[in-house]
Amino acid sequence: MQWQPVVEKPVDYCKQGLRSVLPRLSHVHVFHWFPNARTRYLLKEGSHFWKQYLKIIRGSGRDHFALLEFAKDDDPENFLKDAVTLKDLIRGSSIGGLGS
């Protein structure tokens, strides 16, 4: 099962949804659109949310894959910036299967 944060919903709502699918979770779609679905942001701007999500994911005790999506302005350079941010987040979270 795949999971991604629900756009335009509070972080607590997203964390609750993540916890509910955690036993079946395999892949995570990583992006940052909050607080609205009309504007894409750099992942770095949402890293405080993703730290919380990754902490929950780590609690599963299983390996998971993270897929980057929706780069700001569909710009390849922003995608690469997001990749750096994701690697930093994963290193900081000590999640099996999401490491470098």
Mean pLDDT rounded to a whole number for the chain: 89
**pLDDT tens digits, one per residue of 41-74:** 999 999 999 999 999 999 999 999 999 989 999 9
The pTM score is: 0.85
At 39, is the pLDDT very low, low, confident or very high (cuts 50, 70, 90)?
Answer: confident
**Across-strand partners of 79?**
none
- 82: pLDDT strictly greater than 70: yes
Distance CA 91, CA 31 (A): 17
Condensed to tens digits (0 to 9), the pLDDT of residues 2-16 reads 999 998 889 999 999
Token pair listed for 45: 């701007």
